[in-house]
Amino acid sequence: MNVTKTAVSTLAIAMVLGAAAAQAQELNIYSSRHYDTDQALYDNFTDETGITINLIEAGADELIERLVAEGANSPADLLITVDAGRLWRADQAGLLQPVNSDILDERIPEHLQHPDNHWFGFSKRARVIVYNVDDGAPEGLENYEDLADPAYEGMICIRSSSNIYNISLMSALIESVGAEAAQDWAEGVVANMARDPEGNDTAQLRAVAAGECALGVSNTYYVGRLLASDDAADRAVGEQLGIIFPNQDNRGTHVNISGAGVLANAPNPEAAVAFLEYLTSDEAQTYFAEGNNEYPVVEGTAVPGPIANFGDFNEESINAEIYGANAAEAVRVYDRAGWQ
């Protein structure tokens, strides 16, 4: 995105924020993002608009259930959550409404927003392969598909198939290579596991750094979090890891999002849209990287912090809506493969 266009977009956002402040003084957010750094985004929005944010935090499934139960009486204006698969669930429950915003359409890539503008991605993370730098990157390991190669038998640590990140990865594989090839891949990865799936992404990173397994799969922001930690032991773990962005010579690396949608019964929809537009501002986009080691979604935004050292990569361009649409089949694939 060129400088002139960015400047115009930023001015447009400022004008919208001013208009929103004149129309509403309150915004009720339900969020499953449990990052303390998000508070700065809320505070900055309030400072710029005068709109007070009332925040409810809980797990995504709990929030969706709560919204369904509240129905038309819900006070919530906006749902913020991690992973497009969860946004898909909310939309399937009829909880989200379409949003008409030139700013959002201009600044957010098409594949990172709902086809009918029911939700929008505001930050992203890549799902990458990690290895121990002392051992070096295994020769020939370039694609997700390579993880199923018998050459890597007994080498892989990866979390449970019930994890939403892995469900979304499988959903993308089904879309890209077909269900039959995705099934073969899942069975091959199970055969190559160094241990039964356990723990979160950070647990996989620690296992690779400790030499318990040669390869792991993780979202990039977990690596960035270790490298940015105040704990020297965490930083040492991060420094022990090398990163492979898979599928750079073909479809690109799988990315997922944190995103949000305006709720169907929002009492303050104008303020909700204004906040969504604020999240695309240069300030907010940079803060996603600074505050939580996530990649911005707006083209041309600076990427500060540890993840800047990971380098550029090509990302998969299928619409993130697929992560939810293919989720049921993804779970069946994992179950048939015996992936715990």
What's the rounded Cα separation, in Å, for the pair 253 and 169? 10
CA quadruple 194, 196, 199, 200: dihedral positive or negative? positive
Is residue 95 within 8 A of residue 87, CB to CB? The reply is no
Is residue 289 within 8 A of residue 295, CB to CB? The reply is yes
Proportion of the chain above pLDDT 70, given as a percent: 93
What's the rounded Cα separation, in Å, for the pair 62 and 118? 20
Global confidence as pTM: 0.90
pLDDT at residue 24 in the model: 60
pLDDT at residue 2 in the model: 34
Residue 159 backbone dihedrals phi, psi, to 5 degrees: -80, 180
Q: For 131-145, give one letter per residue: b (16+ CB within 10 A) or e.
A: bbeeeebbeebbbbb
- Domains, the chain, in order of start with CATH, read 3-124+256-310 (3.40.190.10), 125-253+321-337 (3.40.190.10)
pLDDT at residue 287 in the model: 87
DSSP-assigned beta bridge partners for residue 129: 217, 244
pLDDT tens over the chain, length 340 residues: 333 344 445 545 555 555 554 456 899 999 998 877 789 899 999 999 999 999 999 999 999 999 999 999 999 999 999 999 999 999 999 999 999 999 999 999 999 999 999 999 999 999 999 999 999 999 999 999 999 999 999 999 999 999 999 999 999 999 999 999 999 999 999 999 999 999 999 999 999 999 999 999 999 999 999 999 999 999 999 999 999 999 999 999 999 999 999 999 999 999 999 999 999 999 999 988 888 899 999 999 988 889 999 999 999 999 999 999 999 999 999 999 999 9
Is residue 89 within 8 A of residue 65, CB to CB? The reply is no
pLDDT at residue 14 in the model: 54
Instruction: Give the distance from CA 264 to its chain's centroid.
Output: 23
pLDDT at residue 291 in the model: 82
pLDDT at residue 35 in the model: 76
pLDDT per position as a tens digit, 231-279: 999 999 999 999 999 999 999 999 999 999 999 999 999 999 999 999 9
